[in-house]
Structure 1
Amino acid sequence: MEKLNRSIIGVTMILALAFCLRVYHSGTYGIYLDEKYTMIISQGIVMEGANQKEVFFTPGKTVFTPAEFWKKKNLSDFIEANIRGDIGNSPVYYGVLWVWMKIFGLSDFSARFPSVLFSTLIVLLLYVFVKRHFKSESLALISAFLAAIEPFFVAYSHMARNYSMSFFLTLLATHLFLLIVQKQRESKPTWKLLIAYGFTLTVSVLSHYLTVTVFMCHGLYVLLYVRPLVVWRTYLITAVAGLAMVSLWFIYGGGKYTFQTLAYQAQLYKSVSLTNPLNNEFGEVLPATLVNVANKSLPVWADLFIISNGLGQLSTLGIRNLAIAFFFGIIAVGIFHRFRRKEKIPPAVLIVYPLLFLAGLPLFTVPNLQLVVAAALPSFVYILAFGIRHYTTKKQQPLMVFLFILTLFPTLFLILMAFKNGHTYGITQRYSGFSFPYAVILIAFMVKELSEIPMIFRSVLAMTILLQFFFITRLLNAIYLDKAPKYTYFYIPRGPNPHYAAAQQIKKLYQPGDTVVYPSRRLYFRDDIEKTYWPYSIQDAQLTNLYLPKDAGYVQRMDTTEVDKIKLVKAGSRQEIVLFDLKGKTHRY
């Protein structure tokens, strides 16, 4: 009972830490581009107004009100908004968010809070997952703690996007899948679990299409380890039933244009990679050569593991410096291997082993202490191998293979698709983020094994881990300050939401007879999905109206001669008050 109480206290403290790290600064900064689409789509509105023709594009009608903007939407509106705004992806997430904001109101903080909750639930589910399948309380607590402080999870919990929800759902699906495997081996009924698994498969894919990479891993496990063949029938029926439900969305819903749009985007990004790979609106999009794919994927691989986070940034650390660090690190592993089981370690080893981690400092062209962590990386890999061997049984070997497949396959899938499509645009951490829970478990094995090695080696490696945690803490601080571009996409921090600020000014200053005037920039449509009824943007008007009362009668109009300023024109005097100056892209993110 005392041990159980300690476990409950430990899990509770870890969950409290996870929640605090995620909710802190969650509503501080204005919504970025993808979140703007989240806010609009979740309300059944098409960005740029393809389903708001009567509000913005009726001939002879030059003004509109929030009451007109908030005209009730039906299911077809939500589907069209999803088609045009997110290629039919994530309908389940938008549905969840719509219900959430119906209950708790529409605000940036409210829109992000489901991500905070799902990200915190990942920590709890990971604890349950490890304790159930690896039979180790300590390993489960270590895994939960590492997930709680993982910068990737923290960063994406601050985004009103589907990612945190999708990561949770795929981990839950894997948990259910392993429970089914175990029950079948014990010849116990599994139909309830199969229904739950099929349902989770469906909602996972409809929360993000790339969750299919996780279910491919499940299929690989069945092929490799599930016997007899007759048992495959259960998985096949469940998978077909789940995918049949998904196919209804593709046939009758917003997914029917997905493949068409994906094919168009693949061609677009390939063209950009060949003609303008650096100075374009999409960021760096390179041709899918072996070198380019390797350079693009290296940070993704490194950042997947908290212990190597940041070591893939070649522009910061340099290949030469990493090679030097790894060279000394491999020598250190040789010493570690030779004396790991010795009861008495020679004094020379006590001096040489820690010095090897520092030996590269005079040779590095860039003075960066993270290269010391890089020197320790071979030792960490070595300890991980022994940790897996030490803490798993022969019966658990298939589970460990499965863990590695789940960790590696989603990123390998992105690399394969990069070569197929001819560009590197899709090689990004969030598209393979489903791997993070399993990568966390692997690092937990390494941390647990640290307690079993001789004190001298343990002390040196513990100091290196503390050094890496310094960099992790600095990264978390950069996330909170909106200065971590690999997670937040910004070098210069965003301010508060400009459209929310403009809406507050309108509510404060508007008097009957006044007119709110919005900037309206020229649009250039790429395809029919983007095309709307007017060649000028109404996005600033839409985003501001999100935060205005739904029954308000504020008179508003567009101004195609203005590109930056949201203004209030006073009745009678015609005085113009600038409510917010967006200054080009400065406040549009």
Structure 2
Amino acid sequence: MLLAFFLRVYRLDAYGIWFDEKSTLLVSQGVVLEGANQKDVFDKATTSYFTPQEFWKPKTINDFIEANIRGDIGNSPSYYGLLWIWLKVFGLSDFSMRFFSVIFGILTLPLLYRFVTRHFKLEADQASRLALITCFLAAVEPYFVAQSHIARNYTMTFFLTLLATHVFLLLLEKEAPNNRKAPYRSFALYGLLVALSLLSHYLAVTVFLGHGLFALIYVRKFGTWYRLALTAVLALGLVSLWFIYGGGAYTFFSLDNQAKLYRSIALTNPVNNGFGLILPATVANVFWRSLPVFSDLVIFTNGLAAAVVGYRNFTLALLLGLVAAGLLMRYRRQRQTPAWVKFAFPAVLAIGLPFYSINPAQHLVLSAAVPFFCLMIAAMREDVSAKNRPLLVFLVILALVPTLFLLVMAFRSGHTYGITQRYSGFSFPYVFILVALMLMKITSLRFWFSLPLALVLGVQAVLLTLLLQRIFNDSEPKYSSSPLARKPNPFWESAQKIKAMYAEGDTVLYPSLRRHEYTEIDKIGRNFSVIDAQLVNVYLPKDATYYQRIDPNEPDKIVLIKGRTGQKITIFDLEGMKYRY
């Protein structure tokens, strides 16, 4: 947990907020992105003045709902509600806002430890060992580290869905044929966790689809199904309140408009469109888009989908991996291993190194990935007793269903935009357990098998360390969701300069770009953007009376005009800074 804490807090607020975090910041304060609920402040902001005091006037629950609708399609109200409380207690800052994600990232570790030791029927030392390895993987997983550096709902949702899965297994255990039925309060707790998870992120539904599939396979008692049905009604009833009376009423409308927009972009301008690469949902496109999602889900294949380049390199690495896996599975259980195998196994893994034309280390890891997967399957079959087999089936279901759901939705919507790791990251905790089983299996092998595999894991550890370094430097687009490295937050810096330099009679001028309104939700009736002014005012004192205006003719500079002399002082020049958009 100390290691996880250090990795998640290190450089937590070193770089500026990206677009989704802008939504988090504004929605949590009841402020609508682009000021739809601040018309009295911004509609005449090009001709008259507004102040931070006016910007920060008290917000109603309807303001929060409208901010959620326009800023995040009505998604994640439970996250925004808890974040609002958190920021009230600990103050509004980038560090505080992101530290809320860190808390859930850290809490996932002891929950994982409890999950493994409670549900795996193993000897105490084996269960503890498996749990510790699982927690170590969770602590160093680059995706988990990166999500803890982002002020979004994902770490909270991962924690809630894992907790709901834990409670679900406890329910089924109490509902087993030889046990007395679980009390209704336990089902009520499970229903509440389901509702909170769904209201943290709608795609948490993929985890509960996995729960339903597992129950369909293993639950045979009518009474259990009856109580689970009542629980589902309870959970959906709580969620439906948000869809009927809150921002969820516009969710399906927004999703439908987004699907039409992204499908149109995929067919007309898939590359240079401002949203990233969006391709039509053909079988080939969906396969190649999903490959890195599946690859990065497993820590020993993390990064290989992007690093393995060229059909010749790939074919050679895969063939060598198949040969190595064949040797391993054929001779690993023999008491007298032929001498030639002891030399052939490491040689087969390494022999391709001189022939790989690019990224030899990653191709070496790809070769070893084949025996790693074979060992994972062997560990599930040989090292886990029959009474744990249903749990293994459950883990595999939860490892696959979230991503498979995204693939189905891609074909349904006609584009590949939604095939991304953050929408299927609920699978990671269960994959960690499966990988931990494989790592324990390696330690039981003879050293001529275990040592080469351990060395390859060491190579992958170095590659992952370099990846973490890029994450900390904000130079890994896949994990930062930004194509270029960011600088420190320019809006916070501008606010500090304004507080230090502003004198009575001065005026602050904010830049503005022409707004693009893609859907009905985007329509505000204002053709100029006010987001830069909003993001600076968030960091200004709530009682300040600084005079401020929007300059429709200036696209980049935040300027302070001194009242006595008319001198123009550039507070910040945002030109070329991609995180404005």
Q: Given the two structures, how large is their TM-score scaled by the length of structure 1? A: 0.96
What CA distance in whole angstroms lies between the structure 2 residues aligned with 1:536 and 1:154?
37
Residue number among 145, 153, 165 corresponding to 2:144 in the alignment? 153
Residue number among 24, 32, 39 corresponding to 1:46 in the alignment? 32
Give the match's secondary structure for 2:571.
strand
Q: Following TM superposition, by how much is the alpha carbon of 1:367 offset from its aligned partner in structure 2, in angstroms?
A: 4.0
Which residue type is aligned with residue 279 of structure 1?
N
Q: Could you report, residue by residue, the CA deviation over 1:76-106 in whole angstroms, capped at 9, with x for unpaired residues?
A: 0000000011000000110111000000000
**Is 1:65–1:554's contact at 8 Å kept on the other side of the alignment?**
yes
Residue number among 476, 495, 516 corresponding to 2:508 in the alignment? 516
Alignment of 1:236 onto 2:229: yes
Structure 2 residue aligned with 1:276: 269
**Kindly tell me: are residues 60 and 266 of structure 1, through their superposed partners in 2, closer, same or farther at Cα, counting changes over 3 Å?**
closer
What CA distance in whole angstroms lies between the structure 2 residues aligned with 1:531 and 1:152?
35
Which residue type is aligned with residue 407 of structure 2?
I
What CA distance in whole angstroms lies between the structure 2 residues aligned with 1:338 and 1:209?
46
Give the match's secondary structure for 2:111.
helix
Structure 2 residue aligned with 1:445: 437
Structure 2 residue aligned with 1:245: 238
Give the match's secondary structure for 2:570.
strand
Q: Could you report, residue by residue, the CA deviation over 1:337-376 in whole angstroms, capped at 9, with x for unpaired residues?
A: 2221222323222221111112222332324211101001
Residue number among 363, 384, 387 corresponding to 1:371 in the alignment? 363
Residue number among 304, 313, 316 corresponding to 1:324 in the alignment? 316
Give the match's secondary structure for 1:579.
strand
What CA distance in whole angstroms lies between the structure 2 residues aligned with 1:379 and 1:500?
50
Q: Following TM superposition, by how much is the alpha carbon of 1:531 offset from its aligned partner in structure 2, in angstroms?
A: 1.2
What CA distance in whole angstroms lies between the structure 2 residues aligned with 1:419 and 1:363?
39
Structure 2 residue aligned with 1:310: 303
Q: Following TM superposition, by how much is the alpha carbon of 1:586 offset from its aligned partner in structure 2, in angstroms?
A: 4.1
What CA distance in whole angstroms lies between the structure 2 residues aligned with 1:57 and 1:280?
29
What CA distance in whole angstroms lies between the structure 2 residues aligned with 1:243 and 1:438?
25
Q: Following TM superposition, by how much is the alpha carbon of 1:492 offset from its aligned partner in structure 2, in angstroms?
A: 2.8
Q: Following TM superposition, by how much is the alpha carbon of 1:319 offset from its aligned partner in structure 2, in angstroms?
A: 3.9
**Is 1:329–1:376's contact at 8 Å kept on the other side of the alignment?**
yes
**Is 1:101–1:111's contact at 8 Å kept on the other side of the alignment?**
yes
Structure 2 residue aligned with 1:142: 133
Q: Could you report, residue by residue, the CA deviation over 1:111-137 in whole angstroms, capped at 9, with x for unpaired residues?
A: 000100101111111111011001411
Q: Could you report, residue by residue, the CA deviation over 1:535-558 in whole angstroms, capped at 9, with x for unpaired residues?
A: 100100000000000000100011
Structure 2 residue aligned with 1:28: 14
Q: Could you report, residue by residue, the CA deviation over 1:496-530 in whole angstroms, capped at 9, with x for unpaired residues?
A: 10000100000000000000000011112112211
What CA distance in whole angstroms lies between the structure 1 residues aligned with 2:312 and 2:407?
24
How many equivalent residue pairs? 574
Structure 2 residue aligned with 1:107: 93
Q: Following TM superposition, by how much is the alpha carbon of 1:196 offset from its aligned partner in structure 2, in angstroms?
A: 1.1
Q: Could you report, residue by residue, the CA deviation over 1:551-579 in whole angstroms, capped at 9, with x for unpaired residues?
A: 00100011101010000000121110000
Alignment of 1:164 onto 2:150: no
**Is 1:563–1:584's contact at 8 Å kept on the other side of the alignment?**
no
What CA distance in whole angstroms lies between the structure 2 residues aligned with 1:179 and 1:322?
44
More deviation, 227-236/414-423: 227-236
Alignment of 1:17 onto 2:8: no
What CA distance in whole angstroms lies between the structure 2 residues aligned with 1:245 and 1:57?
37
**Is 2:410–2:416's contact at 8 Å kept on the other side of the alignment?**
yes
What CA distance in whole angstroms lies between the structure 1 residues aligned with 2:551 and 2:67?
25
What CA distance in whole angstroms lies between the structure 2 residues aligned with 1:585 and 1:333?
49
What CA distance in whole angstroms lies between the structure 1 residues aligned with 2:116 and 2:310?
37
Alignment of 1:582 onto 2:574: yes
More deviation, 342-351/44-53: 342-351
Give the match's secondary structure for 1:206.
helix
**Is 1:184–1:190's contact at 8 Å kept on the other side of the alignment?**
no
What CA distance in whole angstroms lies between the structure 1 residues aligned with 2:46 and 2:364?
68
Q: Could you report, residue by residue, the CA deviation over 1:302-328 in whole angstroms, capped at 9, with x for unpaired residues?
A: 0001011011116x5334322211111
Give the match's secondary structure for 2:200.
coil
Which residue type is aligned with residue 70 of structure 1?
W
Structure 2 residue aligned with 1:387: 379
After superposition, residues 173-188 of structure 1 pair within 5 angstroms as 173-185=164-176, 186-188=179-181
Alignment of 1:76 onto 2:62: yes
What CA distance in whole angstroms lies between the structure 2 residues aligned with 1:361 and 1:107?
48
What CA distance in whole angstroms lies between the structure 1 residues aligned with 2:240 and 2:301?
39
**Is 1:361–1:367's contact at 8 Å kept on the other side of the alignment?**
no
What CA distance in whole angstroms lies between the structure 2 residues aligned with 1:392 and 1:482?
41
**Is 1:157–1:164's contact at 8 Å kept on the other side of the alignment?**
yes
Q: Could you report, residue by residue, the CA deviation over 1:185-210 in whole angstroms, capped at 9, with x for unpaired residues?
A: 12143322211111100010000000
What CA distance in whole angstroms lies between the structure 2 residues aligned with 1:521 and 1:233?
56
Q: Following TM superposition, by how much is the alpha carbon of 1:585 offset from its aligned partner in structure 2, in angstroms?
A: 3.5
Q: Could you report, residue by residue, the CA deviation over 1:266-322 in whole angstroms, capped at 9, with x for unpaired residues?
A: 1111110000011111100001111111100000000001011011116x5334322
Gaps of 5+ in 1: 1-14
What CA distance in whole angstroms lies between the structure 2 residues aligned with 1:164 and 1:196?
20
What CA distance in whole angstroms lies between the structure 2 residues aligned with 1:261 and 1:320?
45
**Is 2:46–2:549's contact at 8 Å kept on the other side of the alignment?**
no
Which residue type is aligned with residue 171 of structure 1?
L
**Kindly tell me: are residues 319 and 404 of structure 1, through their superposed partners in 2, closer, same or farther at Cα, counting changes over 3 Å?**
farther
Residue number among 323, 334, 339 corresponding to 1:342 in the alignment? 334
Give the match's secondary structure for 2:520.
coil
Alignment of 1:67 onto 2:57: no
Q: Following TM superposition, by how much is the alpha carbon of 1:382 offset from its aligned partner in structure 2, in angstroms?
A: 1.4
Q: Following TM superposition, by how much is the alpha carbon of 1:59 offset from its aligned partner in structure 2, in angstroms?
A: 9.0
Q: Given the two structures, how large is their TM-score scaled by the length of structure 2? A: 0.97
**Kindly tell me: are residues 166 and 572 of structure 1, through their superposed partners in 2, closer, same or farther at Cα, counting changes over 3 Å?**
same
Structure 2 residue aligned with 1:224: 217
Which residue type is aligned with residue 219 of structure 2?
V
Give the match's secondary structure for 1:502.
helix
Give the match's secondary structure for 2:64.
helix
Structure 1 residue aligned with 2:426: 434
**Is 2:156–2:200's contact at 8 Å kept on the other side of the alignment?**
yes
Gaps of 5+ in 2: 122-126
What CA distance in whole angstroms lies between the structure 2 residues aligned with 1:491 and 1:434?
25
What CA distance in whole angstroms lies between the structure 2 residues aligned with 1:391 and 1:123?
24
Q: Following TM superposition, by how much is the alpha carbon of 1:60 offset from its aligned partner in structure 2, in angstroms?
A: 9.6
Give the match's secondary structure for 2:508.
strand
Q: Could you report, residue by residue, the CA deviation over 1:370-409 in whole angstroms, capped at 9, with x for unpaired residues?
A: 1101001111111111211233211221111110000000
What CA distance in whole angstroms lies between the structure 1 residues aligned with 2:137 and 2:107?
14
What CA distance in whole angstroms lies between the structure 2 residues aligned with 1:205 and 1:73?
25
Structure 2 residue aligned with 1:5: none
**Is 2:559–2:569's contact at 8 Å kept on the other side of the alignment?**
yes
Q: Following TM superposition, by how much is the alpha carbon of 1:587 offset from its aligned partner in structure 2, in angstroms?
A: 5.3
Percent identical: 52
What CA distance in whole angstroms lies between the structure 1 residues aligned with 2:220 and 2:332?
40
Give the match's secondary structure for 1:369.
helix
Structure 1 residue aligned with 2:194: 201
What CA distance in whole angstroms lies between the structure 2 residues aligned with 1:74 and 1:301?
43
Which residue type is aligned with residue 235 of structure 1?
L
What CA distance in whole angstroms lies between the structure 1 residues aligned with 2:440 and 2:23?
43
Q: Following TM superposition, by how much is the alpha carbon of 1:168 offset from its aligned partner in structure 2, in angstroms?
A: 0.5
**Is 1:139–1:444's contact at 8 Å kept on the other side of the alignment?**
yes
**Kindly tell me: are residues 319 and 354 of structure 1, through their superposed partners in 2, closer, same or farther at Cα, counting changes over 3 Å?**
same
C-alpha RMSD of matched pairs (Å): 1.3
What CA distance in whole angstroms lies between the structure 2 residues aligned with 1:258 and 1:464?
46
Which residue type is aligned with residue 378 of structure 2?
F
Q: Following TM superposition, by how much is the alpha carbon of 1:58 offset from its aligned partner in structure 2, in angstroms?
A: 5.1
Give the match's secondary structure for 2:406.
helix
Structure 1 residue aligned with 2:474: 482
Which residue type is aligned with residue 21 of structure 1?
L
What CA distance in whole angstroms lies between the structure 1 residues aligned with 2:149 and 2:359?
32
Q: Following TM superposition, by how much is the alpha carbon of 1:334 offset from its aligned partner in structure 2, in angstroms?
A: 1.3
